[in-house]
Amino acid sequence: MGKKKLDWGNLPFGYMKTDKRFVSIYKDGAWDNGKLTKDNTICINECAGVLQYAQTCFEGLKAYTTKDGKVVCFRPDLNADRMADSCARLEMPVFPKDRFIQAVKDVVKANIDWVPPYGSGATLYVRPYMFGSNAVIGVKPADEYMFRILVTPVGPYFKGGVKPITVRISDLDRAAPHGTGDIKAGLNYAMSLHNIVDAHKHGFAENMYTDPATHTYIEETGGANILFVTKDGKLVTPKSNSILPSITRRSLVQVAKDYLNMEVEERPVNKDELKDFVEVGLCGTAAVISPIGKIVDHDKEILVPSGMENIGPVLSKLRETLTGIQMGEIKAPEGWVCTIAE
């Protein structure tokens, strides 16, 4: 077949139908063997649990072509663990970890010609997801489920380089104090849609959410964890039971400690501290790190010292180191890089 003839350097961050996707069905208390299929359509009952009561969760990771030509993905075991946590909270059956990782490998290998070449700035986005598929009219968990993995080639999240963004402190809450903020449930993202559209209308790139109980501590944005850098070079990340445990953040924390010899603090961050940090950024699968240049807290503007022109030096080094590990330019910690094809 050979590599697809795409303009790899100018791909959008969007969906494109690829050759194969993985599907497995849960019925009568067990998962079937699963299969790869060409069909990208889904047929479910009009009363399916996912449609009536939003019983669904998902994951996101990427496959890359490394410097030496291998196709790899990054820490899929952690995606399997996090999805298991999401399923348990939503009363959904857990798809076994070993099968999850193998399915990721199989679907990437089946779409190997869609994996962008090294140096293009593009990657193959991998989206595992699960939902209740049988009819449910009373408020209860479904009895049947579908686990699927789709892949799509995507361009870099930021066109024209990583530029600092402006965010606002939100008046709305992302999650309830003892709710589902720490799992990757579809309903969390549905709740944030109105607020992100409103933020964009008013010129902000994202909403920065505070803790739902007291509105005193910084938590995360609608789709990413937050990083702070202090004047004395420490990396600080907010700690809370209602924050999604980002795999990118956890990886950056380890990179900071083990590769850059930085001191790292994972602790509650009071919003009054925002003016004291010299660099601020968002982190996640899509962009790795997105720098923040300005935070607007109602009638008060906090200008981050690193400015609105470029990513700050500490976050830049963190980003370069992690992407270097992902792309095979820097030796990875044991178990971080999963080889799919050589």
Residues serving a catalytic function are 184
- How many residues are present in the chain? 342
Calpha distance 332→336 (Å, rounded) = 6
Nearest to 184 by CA among 134, 237, 127: 127
Bridge partners (DSSP) listed for residue 299 = none
Could you say which DSSP state residue 287 is in? T
Which residues, other chains included, contact 50 with Cβ-Cβ below 8 Å and sequence gap of 6+?
Answer: 44, 56, 131, 132, 133, 142
Which among 277, 261, 190, 265 is positioned nearest to 235, based on CA atoms?
Answer: 265
- 220's enclosing H/E stretch is strand 217-221
Residue-wise burial string across 53-67, b where 16 or more C-beta atoms lie within 10 A, e elsewhere: bbbbbbbbbbbbbbe
**Pick from 230, 246, 237: which is nearest to 305 by CA?**
230
- Where b means 16+ CB within 10 Å and e means fewer, 225-242 reads bbbbbbeeeebbbbebeb
**Contacts by residues 91-96 (CB-CB < 8 Å, ≥ 24 positions apart):** 91/55, 91/141, 92/55, 92/57, 92/130, 92/132, 92/141, 92/142, 92/145, 93/26, 93/31, 93/145, 95/24, 95/31, 95/130, 95/147, 96/31
